[in-house]
Amino acid sequence: MALEITDASFEEVVLKSDKPVLVDFWAAWCGPCRMVSPIVDEISSEYEGKAVIGKVDVDANQEFAAKYGVRNIPTVLIFKNGEVVDKQVGAAPKKAYTDKIDAAL
């Protein structure tokens, strides 16, 4: 399962990570988000120990969604050394996400 990231834990989990981080910005009411969620959980298992995979519920945690200009969900951001290095807006196949993580590894 992907980590549940909140505004309170975002800096520690994402920005200070020594590994690449995939962050899925989502909401419970979003249909495409529900399609992406199992893919993100699958990736979480496959990249355990190599990358951090997490989700931010934008309804409950708006600070970092706003900071990174997330206007449409799902939006997946890839962070490396605390910086955004790639993004995917809208639902995409699993390979689109894994290619972005692999490029950041």
Active site residues: 30, 33
Domains of the chain: 3-100 (3.40.30.10)
Q: Is the dihedral of CA 46, 37, 91, 76 positive or negative?
A: negative
Q: What's the pLDDT score for residue 55?
A: 98
Residues 38-89: tens digit of each pLDDT: 999 999 999 999 999 999 999 999 999 999 999 999 999 999 999 999 999 9
Nearest to 78 by CA among 38, 31, 35, 40: 40
Q: What's the pLDDT score for residue 8?
A: 98
Give the residue-averaged pLDDT of 23-42.
97
Question: How far is residue 104's CA from residue 84's CA, in Å, rounded to a whole number?
Answer: 10
Q: For all residues of the chain together, what is the average pLDDT? A: 97
Residue 66, φ and ψ in degrees, nearest 5: -65, -45
Question: How far is residue 67's CA from residue 94's CA, in Å, rounded to a whole number?
Answer: 26
Q: What does pTM read for this prediction?
A: 0.96
